[in-house]
């Protein structure tokens, strides 16, 4: 263990690093509250986004044959056909590109969403991305991707609008976090890539969304005041290092995996709209990451014509400004006019078309055997057939594409359920003959099986029935749902047809004390309380507590039932005031498991499946513990007349979720990566080995390939540990590898630890297995905003292996720039029983040694009052889901400021569109903005 003197020196060095910030103009170096996580926040640094022009041309790298086919195809198009190819149109799918029959092109069908083909009959509804993340299982993520893609393809779709890595999950209050994976970028990046590769292996184009900084639903789109003033969408203000190490990280994985398309987001980023932000689209995505596919807009996220195209947008969706009509449009005829008058270069339009067609040919979607669009889709989507501008060739209606996917859905639903508490081995259940079921989440949904079809659901959800998914465009159209009550009845009947399964599903009735008294005899041998939390597109969550007064429900039941098991179905984290109640003997966080929800749960409750899920987020004690990353919202903002008022400052920088709690040494209820099993595991023999020598701080300069500089993906180290099953039953372990990266000078505060490896392995009792983690150059580097490079720090890197972010079993260090490797069981060369500095040990209910809060040595640096809770936003100010927009009239008035304009200046460059702060007139080019062209970057939002 390090001496107190060594720790003091380390603390002094860290304090020096974070206080000597030469780029800042203020005398202070930290903010004023729990959000403070780096140099003083200068609001003016985020007023604009650096311009990066021209838009890089795709080269087809990795797709050479398909790119040549696309080039040949585009060379035969007229100008009008090129404009048609980049512009959405009304049709039978959520998004449509019209056919060009003279060239044998039937058009493109784009369909929601990330967990199912939403607008379809006879299709499966899979577990949500959040459930996949909780499984920590790469193989199941890929299988889900393959299975979903088979269903999309069977329905004639070409593009599946998913998976999701934006929102990443900055705030637990975010309404769409469940569509994605985890607030940890490494975990999200790995599962994002597996999903994409699985989908595209089955012949469907994946669409990575929503790019980028799309971390809240509140004011995600512009609004118009009663006086007719346009209030711009919220601006996600992100510094350069945070952008690379958090929000861009999983998209870099996606590009390396060859993702076909990327959907740009509704929000602004550092003042400029996501679908016309040349820095994020041209600079980061297409130039730095080498993206070869196409960028499509989110539906109605386009705010201009040629400026958006030049900023990197390749496809406008859904096409018409009025949503359900083809005209008026920012693209279409305006693109044609812009080329004719010299405002938009035809070479840029050709690049847009080649980018769109390359994945089409790559995945052989031009094959004569490719399925036609299911004719039933036309009646399910929001475009009236009278508005169709093309005669679409459709296939048979109501094709059943579900195949045998139910079993994989059931398996993943169980794998993504996390056992949080299990006192006295309450679970697995044996053969109880008197079971009490409580809560409105236990039974069949009473409001139907489609959670985007009822506008009254809003941000409340339906009261009665299990919640297997969230709402909005990320949901699915269920053909059936296996409820927990149904599955429990079937299970109990299988071993004792005379056993009692008693139930009261009305929360209000139980909470009024009369509900529990309905049961007899009492108490049941076990009481199972089912809770839920609704989450949906268009709304952020008003609370982190469970819905429908579920906390009181647990307390009421637990007063009378000393063996109470709690199950939650939630679109994200829940604080759990009941977690320490001694009568609450077990808790399962089941997330959104899809159509097999009840069966997945029963498999766990009775031990047919051993729990192996791990938390992909942190559960703290109180809602106020999450105030470091608030949803931007206030009463003043709701009545503002300032068009630019909505500013969401990501002042927490790198310190979201467990990174925040670890850095500030804050206690939590259940930490990231945590999850119990019916068996126990140990870990030993950590060894870290360099794969080479003579490492340099900066990567070798290589030609950019999809995923960025190929040198970033070189494996520099491998780490190995031995995992052993020390219990009496078989089970799956998830060993996790964390790195403690050095604190660079003049930079954001570096997290105490970051996840850089995980594997899921199944072991029989007494068995052991060696697990290997590969560490790439990117994994051990930080983003240096001055050199604009991924850079390896000069000092030692801590390597920590364990079973959660706070259950660290083994530690060592490596110093890449000195050529050292590491091995050992303690911190440095300590013993196996030694915990790293700042840890104390506590024992979990499974008997495992579980370190408590980690001290970062920095908890005294930042102080201040907590941020007040945000005000609730009225529905009238919220951006609705795409289905809500479908009700817009075809004659919807477009604000004058957003009218599509074709009259360009004689030089070919006009002023930028509203919210497009990176399009000056005349435009600058990439070499003029000090972004990666020598010297420190200018203070323009990417400081």
Q: Which of 42-46, 85-89, 321-325, 408-412 has the lowest mean pLDDT?
A: 42-46
Q: Is 662 exposed, middle or buried (0-12, 13-18, 19+ CB in 10 A)?
A: buried
| Phi/psi at 509 (5° precision) | -60, -45
Q: Which of 459-463, 545-549, 657-661, 927-931 has the lowest mean pLDDT?
A: 927-931
Reply yes or no on whether the pLDDT at 280 is more than 60. Answer: yes
| Phi/psi at 569 (5° precision) | -120, 110
For residue 401, what is the DSSP state?
-
| Residues forming beta bridges with residue 731, ordered by sequence position | 763
Reply yes or no on whether the pLDDT at 836 is more than 60. Answer: no
Average pLDDT over residues 236-264: 98
Average pLDDT over residues 454-481: 88
| Residues forming beta bridges with residue 642, ordered by sequence position | none
pTM over the 0.75 mark: yes
Confidence class for position 818, pLDDT limits 50, 70, 90: confident
pLDDT, residue 824, reads 54
Helices 405-415 & 597-605 angle (0-180, nearest 10): 50
Q: Is the dihedral of CA 110, 261, 212, 316 positive or negative?
A: negative
Confidence class for position 189, pLDDT limits 50, 70, 90: very high
User: Beta strand pairing status for 797-804 and 807-814?
Assistant: antiparallel
- For the stretch 21-68, pLDDT in tens is 222 222 234 445 555 788 888 899 999 999 999 999 999 999 999 999
Kindly list the structural domains of the chain, giving each domain's residue range(s) and its CATH number in brackets, ordered by start. Answer: 4-30+657-851 (2.60.40.10), 69-383+876-928 (3.20.20.300), 417-606 (3.40.50.1700)
Average pLDDT over residues 751-770: 98
Q: What residues have CB less than 8 Å from 632, skipping those under 6 apart?
A: 216, 218, 219, 234, 646, 647, 648, 870
Residue-wise DSSP of 777-820: TGGGEEEETTTTEEEE-SS-EEEEEEEETTEEEEEEEE-GGGT-
C-alpha distances (whole Å) from 479 to each of 402, 569, 743, 784 are: 10, 19, 52, 50
CA-wise closest residue to 483 among 569, 419, 545, 416? 569
Q: What residues have CB less than 8 Å from 189, skipping those under 6 apart?
A: 165, 249, 250, 252, 253, 254
pLDDT, residue 38, reads 86
- For the stretch 651-708, pLDDT in tens is 999 999 999 999 999 999 999 999 999 999 999 999 999 999 999 999 999 999 999 9
Reply yes or no on whether the pLDDT at 513 is more than 80. Answer: no
- For the stretch 871-890, pLDDT in tens is 333 332 223 333 323 333 33
- For the stretch 555-564, pLDDT in tens is 999 999 999 9
Confidence class for position 595, pLDDT limits 50, 70, 90: very high
Average pLDDT over residues 621-637: 95
Confidence class for position 486, pLDDT limits 50, 70, 90: very high
Confidence class for position 454, pLDDT limits 50, 70, 90: low
- Please work out, in degrees rounded to the nearest 5, the angle formed at the alpha carbon of residue 514 by the alpha carbons of 508 and 517: 130
Average pLDDT over residues 523-532: 97
pLDDT exceeding 70 applies to what percent of the chain?
82
Reply yes or no on whether the pLDDT at 97 is more than 80. Answer: yes
CA-wise closest residue to 297 among 183, 210, 390, 204? 210
The torsion region of residue 267 among left (phi > 0), alpha (psi -120 to 50) and beta comes to beta
CA-wise closest residue to 285 among 323, 250, 316? 250
pLDDT, residue 745, reads 84
pLDDT, residue 911, reads 28
pLDDT, residue 882, reads 33
C-alpha distances (whole Å) from 26 to each of 242, 329, 861 are: 21, 46, 17
Residue-wise DSSP of 311-361: TT--BBSS-BTTSSSS-SBSSTHHHHHHHHTTSS-HHHHHHHHHHHHHHHH
pLDDT, residue 550, reads 97
pLDDT, residue 453, reads 57
- For the stretch 129-145, pLDDT in tens is 999 999 999 999 999 99
Q: Which of 41-50, 117-126, 270-279 has the lowest mean pLDDT?
A: 41-50
pLDDT, residue 35, reads 56
pLDDT exceeding 90 applies to what percent of the chain?
79
Q: What residues have CB less than 8 Å from 518, skipping those under 6 apart?
A: 502, 504
Catalytic positions = 298
Look over the chain and give the mean of its residue pLDDT values, rounded to a whole number. 86
| Residues forming beta bridges with residue 801, ordered by sequence position | 737, 810
- Please work out, in degrees rounded to the nearest 5, the angle formed at the alpha carbon of residue 868 by the alpha carbons of 867 and 872: 130
Six token digits for residue 817: 């720039």
What ranges in 156-248 are assigned the alpha helix state H? 185-201, 240-242
pLDDT, residue 923, reads 25
pLDDT, residue 39, reads 84
Reply yes or no on whether the pLDDT at 14 is more than 60. Answer: no
pLDDT, residue 874, reads 30
User: Beta strand pairing status for 564-570 and 526-533?
Assistant: parallel
- For the stretch 348-374, pLDDT in tens is 999 999 999 999 999 999 999 999 999
């Amino acid at each position: 263990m390090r001496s107190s003197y060594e720790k003091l020196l380390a603390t002094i060095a860290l304090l020096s690093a974070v206080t000597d910030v030469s780029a800042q103009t203020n005398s202070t170096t930290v903010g004023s509250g729990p959000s403070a996580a780096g140099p003083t926040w200068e609001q003016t640094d985020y007023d604009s986004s650096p311009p990066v022009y021209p838009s890089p041309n795709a080269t087809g790298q990795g797709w050479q044959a398909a790119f040549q086919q696309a080039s040949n195809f585009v060379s035969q198009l007229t100008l009008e056909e090129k404009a048609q190819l980049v512009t959405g149109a009304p049709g039978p799918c959520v998004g449509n590109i019209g056919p060009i029959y003279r060239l044998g092109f039937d058009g493109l069908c784009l369909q929601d969403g990330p967990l199912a083909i939403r607008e379809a009959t006879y299709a499966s509804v899979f577990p949500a991305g959040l459930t996949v993340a909780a499984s920590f299982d790469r193989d199941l993520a890929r299988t889900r991707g393959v299975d979903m893609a088979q269903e999309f393809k069977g329905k004639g779709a070409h593009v599946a609008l998913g998976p999701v890595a934006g929102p990443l999950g900055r705030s637990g209050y975010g309404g769409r976090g469940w569509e994605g994976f985890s607030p940890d970028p490494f975990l999200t990046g790995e599962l994002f890539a597996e999903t994409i590769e699985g989908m595209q292996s089955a012949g469907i184009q994946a669409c990575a969304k929503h790019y980028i900084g799309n971390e809240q639903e509140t004011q995600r789109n512009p609004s118009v005041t009663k006086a007719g003033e346009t209030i711009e969408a919220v601006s996600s203000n992100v510094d350069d290092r945070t952008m690379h190490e958090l929000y861009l990280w999983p998209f870099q994985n996606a590009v390396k995996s060859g993702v076909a398309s990327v959907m740009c987001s509704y929000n602004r980023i550092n003042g400029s709209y996501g679908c016309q932000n040349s820095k994020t689209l041209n600079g980061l995505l297409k130039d730095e990451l080498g993206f070869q596919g196409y960028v499509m807009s989110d539906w109605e996220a386009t705010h201009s014509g040629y400026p958006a195209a030049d900023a990197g947008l390749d496809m406008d969706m859904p096409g018409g400004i009025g949503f359900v009509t083809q005209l008026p449009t920012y693209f279409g005829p305006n693109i044609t006019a812009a080329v004719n008058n010299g405002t938009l270069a035809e070479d840029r339009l050709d690049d847009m078309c080649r980018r769109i067609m390359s994945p089409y040919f790559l995945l052989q979607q031009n094959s004569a055997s490719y399925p036609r669009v299911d004719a039933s889709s036309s009646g399910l989507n929001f475009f009236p057939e009278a508005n169709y501008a093309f005669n679409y060739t459709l296939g048979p209606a109501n094709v059943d594409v579900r195949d045998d996917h139910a079993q994989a859905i059931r398996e993943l639903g169980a794998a993504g359920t996390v056992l949080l508490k299990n006192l006295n081995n309450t679970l697995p259940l044996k053969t109880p003959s008197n079971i009490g079921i409580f809560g409105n989440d236990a039974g069949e949904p009473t409001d139907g099986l489609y959670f985007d079809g009822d506008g009254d659901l809003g941000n409340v959800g339906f009261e009665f029935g299990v919640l297997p998914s969230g709402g909005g465009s990320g949901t699915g159209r269920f053909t059936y749902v296996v409820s927990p009550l149904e599955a429990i009845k079937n299970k109990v009947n299988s071993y004792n047809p005379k056993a009692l399964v008693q139930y009261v599903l009305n929360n209000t009735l139980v909470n009024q004390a009369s509900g529990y008294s309905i049961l007899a005899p009492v108490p049941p041998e076990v009481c199972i309380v089912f809770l839920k939390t609704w989450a949906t597109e268009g709304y952020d969550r008003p609370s982190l507590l469970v819905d429908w007064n579920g906390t009181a429900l647990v307390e009421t039941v637990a007063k009378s039932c000393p063996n109470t098991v709690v199950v939650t179905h939630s679109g994200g984290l829940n604080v759990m005031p009941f977690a320490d109640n001694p009568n609450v003997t077990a808790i399962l966080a089941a997330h959104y498991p899809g159509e097999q929800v009840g069966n997945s749960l029963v498999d766990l409750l009775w031990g047919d499946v051993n729990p192996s899920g791990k938390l992909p987020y942190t559960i703290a004690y109180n809602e106020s513990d999450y105030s470091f990353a608030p949803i931007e919202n206030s009463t003043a903002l709701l009545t503002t007349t300032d068009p630019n008022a909505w500013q969401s400052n990501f002042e927490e920088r790198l310190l979201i979720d467990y990174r925040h709690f670890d850095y500030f040494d804050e206690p939590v209820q259940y930490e990231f990566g945590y999850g119990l099993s019916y068996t126990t595991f140990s870990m030993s023999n950590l060894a870290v080995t360099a794969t080479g020598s003579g490492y340099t701080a900066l990567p070798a300069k290589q030609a950019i390939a999809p995923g960025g500089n190929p040198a970033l993906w070189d494996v520099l180290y491998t780490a190995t540990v031995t995992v052993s099953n020390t219990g009496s039953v078989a089970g799956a372990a998830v060993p996790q590898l964390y790195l403690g990266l050095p604190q660079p000078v003049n930079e954001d505060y570096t997290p105490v630890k970051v996840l850089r490896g995980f594997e899921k392995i199944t072991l029989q009792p007494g068995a052991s297995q060696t697990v290997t983690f590969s560490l790439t150059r990117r994994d051990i580097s930080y983003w240096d905003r001055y050199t604009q490079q991924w850079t390896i720090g000069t000092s030692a890197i801590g390597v920590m292996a364990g079973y959660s972010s706070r259950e660290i079993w083994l530690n060592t260090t490596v110093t890449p720039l000195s050529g050292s490797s590491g091995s050992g069981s303690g911190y440095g060369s300590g013993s196996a029983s030694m915990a790293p500095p700042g840890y104390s040990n506590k024992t979990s209910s499974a008997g495992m040694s579980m370190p408590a809060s980690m001290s970062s040595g920095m908890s005294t640096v930042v102080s201040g009052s907590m941020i007040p809770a945000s005000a609730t936003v009225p529905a009238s100010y919220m951006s609705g889901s795409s289905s809500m927009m479908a009700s817009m009239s075809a004659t919807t008035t477009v604000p004058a400021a957003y009218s599509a304009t074709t009259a360009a200046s004689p030089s070919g460059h006009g002023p930028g569109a509203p919210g497009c702060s990176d399009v000056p007139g005349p435009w600058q080019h990439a070499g003029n903005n000090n972004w990666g062209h020598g010297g420190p970057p200018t203070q323009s939002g990417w400081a």
